[in-house]
């Protein structure tokens, strides 16, 4: 986790710095650093959540299914796709358990608080309403007041999303709490849940590279002695190590195809080193 921090911090800065100004968010130093702070803390929290799923699963397939369902629920109940005031009562609890939702609320509060936005459309409007007084028209955006040509950012968040300005730093503590909780769950799962045992792989050692058995391991020593004794007692198992070199010169090999002789080995020279396996592969195009 510690070794992964430099990458996450660098990635967060290089991504959020251009994103913040390309989206034309609030041009204030304090607002930017609050935005970046919640971004990096949320990144670390989500990292702990997915690490927990990975450590609690014994195979890749077991980890992907709950992770896919989780990220879908977290995105839907963040508060952007479905505002909190429109969430059904039986599903509202998912928003309370969503760390991204707390980060989203704080970022919205960070952007809208203490700001005024000009209204772009009013009612009534159109032909015949050009001379309507300011007190007789109202902006079409929620939280607007009759006669006002601007929308208060705090009132808009409270009416449209039920977000409060006082929840800004409270949400940071909640997100950090999620991060610490899942960090400990991840460490516990890593300690006690082992990976699924492999069944298809066979460990093979190259000639001369097989590790020697531990002399303190009685079971391994007895097994090796038993195999040596069994090998010596079985007929035909004592194969002497070959040291001779196999060599050939001017080797030819012809085959008959459709009544015609074809030569596939034409005066081939070669040799084979003792103690090695050598395969001679011949390929020739045959017109049919």
Please say whether the beta carbons of 54 and 70 come within 8 A. Answer: no
How many domains in the chain?
Answer: 1
Residue 14 lies in a domain: yes
Please say whether the beta carbons of 134 and 149 come within 8 A. Answer: yes
Measured from the Cβ of residue 111, the count of other Cβ atoms closer than 10 Å reads 16
Residue 93 lies in a domain: yes
Whole-model pTM: value is 0.62
Residue 82 lies in a domain: yes
203 pLDDT higher than 70? no
Interval 97-126: pLDDT, tens: 999 999 999 999 999 988 888 888 888 877
Residue 91 lies in a domain: yes
214 pLDDT higher than 70? no
Residue 200 lies in a domain: no
Residue 136 lies in a domain: no
Residue 254 lies in a domain: no
Residue 145 lies in a domain: no
| Residue predicted with more confidence, 120 or 195 | 120
φ, ψ of residue 246 to 5 degrees: the values are -90, 125
285 pLDDT higher than 60? no
| pLDDT class of 36 with cuts at 50, 70, 90 | very high
288 pLDDT higher than 50? no
| Residue predicted with more confidence, 233 or 54 | 54
How buried is residue 99: exposed, middle or buried, by Cβ count under 10 Å (0-12/13-18/19+)? buried
Q: Domain limits at 179?
A: 5-118+152-192
For position 139, what pLDDT does the model report? 87
Q: Region 226-255: what's the mean pLDDT?
A: 69
């Amino acid at each position: 986790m510690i070794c992964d921090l430099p990458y996450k911090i660098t990635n967060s800065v290089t991504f959020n710095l251009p994103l913040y100004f390309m989206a034309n968010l609030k041009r204030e130093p304090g607002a930017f650093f609050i935005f970046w702070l919640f971004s990096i803390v949320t990144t670390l929290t989500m990292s702990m959540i997915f690490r927990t799923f990975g450590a609690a699963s014994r195979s890749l397939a077991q980890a992907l299914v709950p992770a896919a369902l989780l990220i879908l629920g977290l995105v839907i109940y963040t508060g952007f796709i479905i505002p909190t005031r429109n969430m059904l009562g039986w599903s509202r609890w998912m928003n309370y358990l969503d760390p991204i939702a707390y980060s989203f609320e704080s970022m919205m509060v960070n952007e809208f608080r203490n700001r005024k936005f000009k209204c772009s459309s009013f009612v009534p409007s159109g032909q015949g309403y050009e001379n309507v007084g300011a007190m007789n028209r109202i902006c079409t955006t929620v939280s607007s007041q009759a006669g006002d040509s601007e929308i208060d950012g705090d009132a808009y968040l409270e009416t449209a999303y039920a977000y409060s300005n006082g929840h800004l730093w409270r949400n940071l503590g909640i997100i950090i709490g999620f991060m610490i909780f899942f960090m400990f769950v991840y460490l516990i799962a890593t300690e006690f849940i082992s990976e699924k045992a492999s069944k298809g792989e066979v460990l093979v050692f190259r000639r001369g590279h097989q590790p020697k058995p531990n002399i303190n391991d009685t079971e391994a020593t007895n097994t090796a002695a038993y195999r040596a004794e069994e090998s010596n007692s079985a007929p035909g198992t004592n194969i002497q190590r070959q040291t001779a070199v196999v060599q050939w010169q001017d080797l030819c090999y012809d085959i008959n195809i459709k009544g015609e002789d074809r030569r596939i080995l034409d005066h081939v020279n070669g040799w084979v080193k003792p103690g090695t396996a050598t395969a001679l592969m011949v390929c020739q195009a045959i017109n049919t």
